[in-house]
Amino acid sequence: MILSNSVAHAHLDPEPVWCRDSRGTAYSFGQYLERIRTFHGHPAPGLIIAGKMVQTALDRLPRGILFNALCETDRCLPDAVQLLTPCTIGNGWMRILGFQKFALSLFDKTNGRGYRVWLDAGKLETWKAIRRWFFKTVPKKDQDPALLLHQIQEAGADILSVGEVLVAAPRFLSKKGIGRRRICPVCGEAFPADHGQRCLACQGHSPYAAASEHRPMGIRAIRTED
Amino acid sequence: MILSNSVAHAHLDPEPVWCRDSRGTAYSFGQYLERIRTFHGHPAPGLIIAGKMVQTALDRLPRGILFNALCETDRCLPDAVQLLTPCTIGNGWMRILGFQKFALSLFDKTNGRGYRVWLDAGKLETWKAIRRWFFKTVPKKDQDPALLLHQIQEAGADILSVGEVLVAAPRFLSKKGIGRRRICPVCGEAFPADHGQRCLACQGHSPYAAASEHRPMGIRAIRTED
């Protein structure tokens, strides 16, 4: 009976919230890890921290505003934004900068005012495992993943800093339409007319091997109706 | 009794599959629209078509391989890839090109071989509403969203073309690590050492207004521990 009471008690004791999405749904550390696994494939340390970063920014935004997101790296961070907010790379409400800085901003899309949250290297002194992982001072194979996970959970928001920002670059405040489409005279495909006479692929930027006799760009048309 | 029989029969009649994810989970048109709404916010026509495009590429890939995705536009398409495959922008298995061409490729990450699927403008003649939407020949307010949705569902893969590709650019075949991190002497934040003496933001590329006396980049540090 004592055991079963203690189990019941444990069930009543709510697990601490690791992060909430913009609708207010709360995730414990374990639940968030499970969400990550489903979307991102593996519980990357950066993505776990990123969940806390998104939550930290969300907590400060005024309720009910329409906001955009800016990620200063393409590694991990953007997936936390996509999991916890309405901002995705495909709907244009999230943008990514190639700075490779572990920082993100959520900001009011009408005026650019918002909050930037970053993993603060100056706050890692007491969190040795996180420091080793972040600065790669020890080869990955010699790191202790369980200790890293434990320190991330213990540290929570203590390793983050947050500041007010004003997003000033107009391209982050509004979506630019792609404008009129025309047909590329080389590949026969549609592209934005303001890219020039040919599409960017046929201007020499194709990532494909130019190997096919049937179509440029290494593309061989085959039937879709099978 | 007749009514209840017919209802039971309707339940047994499976809805046609619009697309499947890479795990094999099937979505009817309606179910996929609901998935889109949850992730992307609204059932964008491009994202509906993109679901069929991903499915078309997945159908051709050999089973069980590890594959990457390449989207030739950042509009809508990437969200279908993220919803239906393990490739996301944050895990680096999906990359985006700024060509603004409605095309995507899924390819074997070990050798670059895969399939490219595109919305084929030459196949839109019989699908007037899709053509009007794609080429914006009629202002958005004068288009018929219900007819557009109906034509997208009716057309299915008939408006797509698919070809074999060989992704040749090495940067799409492997993830480049960000290398060693150092501290920027201007903002005090961590950045990849190979970006130079300062982080890219402090090299003049910051999207934020430089307005604060406390920190560069318009960032005012505030406490996270509240």
**B161, A224: Cβ pair inside 8 Å?**
yes
Question: Residue B6: what pLDDT?
Answer: 43
Tokens for B196, please give them: 């130079």
Closest CA–CA distance from residue A31 to any residue of chain B (Å): 18
Q: What is the 3-state secondary structure (H, E, C) of B30-47?
A: HHHHHHHHHHHCCCCHHH
**B89, A91: Cβ pair inside 8 Å?**
no
Closest CA–CA distance from residue A98 to any residue of chain B (Å): 8
Closest CA–CA distance from residue A127 to any residue of chain B (Å): 16
Cβ atoms of A114 and A92 within 8 Å: the answer is no
- DSSP label of B186: T
How does pLDDT run across B61-85, given as a tens digit for each residue?
999 999 999 999 999 999 999 999 9
Chain A residues lying within 8 Å of B208, measured CB to CB = 105, 116, 165-168
**A158, B88: Cβ pair inside 8 Å?**
no
pLDDT at B92 > cutoff 80: yes
Residue A11 pLDDT class (50, 70, 90 cuts): low
Question: Residue B169: what pLDDT?
Answer: 83
pLDDT at B225 > cutoff 50: no
Mean pLDDT of chain A: 88
How does pLDDT run across B163-184, given as a tens digit for each residue?
999 998 888 888 778 889 999 9
Chain B residues lying within 8 Å of A201, measured CB to CB = 72, 99, 101
Cβ atoms of A200 and A214 within 8 Å: the answer is no
What's the pTM?
0.88
CB-closest option in B42, B88, B101 to A189? B101
d(CA A2, CA A8): 10
**A162, B224: Cβ pair inside 8 Å?**
yes
Does residue B34 or residue B174 have the better pLDDT?
B34
Mean pLDDT of chain B: 88
**B163, A86: Cβ pair inside 8 Å?**
no
Chain A residues lying within 8 Å of B192, measured CB to CB = 100
How does pLDDT run across A20-55, given as a tens digit for each residue?
999 999 999 999 999 999 998 989 999 999 999 999
Q: What is the largest CA-CA distance in chain A?
A: 80
Asked which of A206-215, B96-105, B185-194 is least confident by mean pLDDT, the reply is A206-215
Residue A3 pLDDT class (50, 70, 90 cuts): very low
d(CA A119, CA B208): 18
**String of DSSP letters for chain A:** -HHHHHHHHHHHSPPPEEEE-TT--EEEHHHHHHHHHHHHSS--HHHHHHHHHHHHHHHHSPTT--EEEEES-SSSHHHHHHHHSS--TTTTSEEE-TT--SEEEEEETTT-EEEEEEE-GGG-TT-HHHHHHHHT-S-GGGS-HHHHHHHHHHHGGGGEEEEEEEB--GGGTSPPP---EEE-TTT--EEEGGG-SS-TIIIII-SB----SSSGGG-EEE-S--
pLDDT at B44 > cutoff 80: yes
**A164, B219: Cβ pair inside 8 Å?**
yes
Asked which of A113-127, A185-199, B169-183 is least confident by mean pLDDT, the reply is B169-183
Closest CA–CA distance from residue A12 to any residue of chain B (Å): 26
Residue B224 pLDDT class (50, 70, 90 cuts): very low
d(CA A21, CA A5): 33
Chain B residues lying within 8 Å of A98, measured CB to CB = 200
Asked which of A5-14, A118-127, B65-74 is least confident by mean pLDDT, the reply is A5-14
CB-closest option in B79, B101, B221 to A91? B79
Closest CA–CA distance from residue A17 to any residue of chain B (Å): 15
Does residue B200 or residue A5 have the better pLDDT?
B200
Tokens for A106, please give them: 């959520």
Residue range B106-135: average pLDDT?
Answer: 96
Neighbours of B157 (CB within 10 A): 20
Count interface pairs A-B at CB distance under 8 A.
242
Cβ atoms of B50 and B104 within 8 Å: the answer is yes
Virtual torsion, Cα A195, A197, A203, A208, nearest 10 deg: 90
Question: Residue A69: what pLDDT?
Answer: 97
Say what percent of chain B tops pLDDT 90: 77
pLDDT at B53 > cutoff 80: yes
pLDDT at B112 > cutoff 50: yes
Question: Residue B226: what pLDDT?
Answer: 31
User: Of A23, A51, A15, A52, which Cα lies nearest the Cα of A36?
Assistant: A51
Residue of A nearest to B173 (CA): A207
pLDDT at A212 > cutoff 50: no
ipTM: 0.87
Please report, for residues B47, B77, B204, the alpha-carbon distance to residue B31 in angstroms, rounded to integers and kept in the order given: 13, 18, 46
Cβ atoms of A119 and A160 within 8 Å: the answer is yes
Residue A178 pLDDT class (50, 70, 90 cuts): confident
d(CA B67, CA B111): 10
Chain A residues lying within 8 Å of B218, measured CB to CB = 164-166, 168
- DSSP label of B205: I
CB-closest option in A74, A76, A190 to B102? A190
CB-closest option in A82, A98, A165 to B208? A165
Residue A172 pLDDT class (50, 70, 90 cuts): confident
**A39, B77: Cβ pair inside 8 Å?**
no
Residue range A203-208: average pLDDT?
Answer: 92
How do beta strands B181-183 and B190-192 pair? Answer: antiparallel
User: Of B177, B215, B40, which Cα lies nearest the Cα of A73?
Assistant: B177
Chain A residues lying within 8 Å of B74, measured CB to CB = 89-90, 92
Place of tokens 């030459």: B122
CB-closest option in B135, B190, B215 to A121? B190
d(CA A84, CA A55): 8
Closest CA–CA distance from residue A13 to any residue of chain B (Å): 23
Residue of A nearest to B85 (CA): A39
How does pLDDT run across B189-220, given as a tens digit for each residue?
999 999 999 999 999 999 998 544 334 444 44
Place of tokens 């950045």: B191
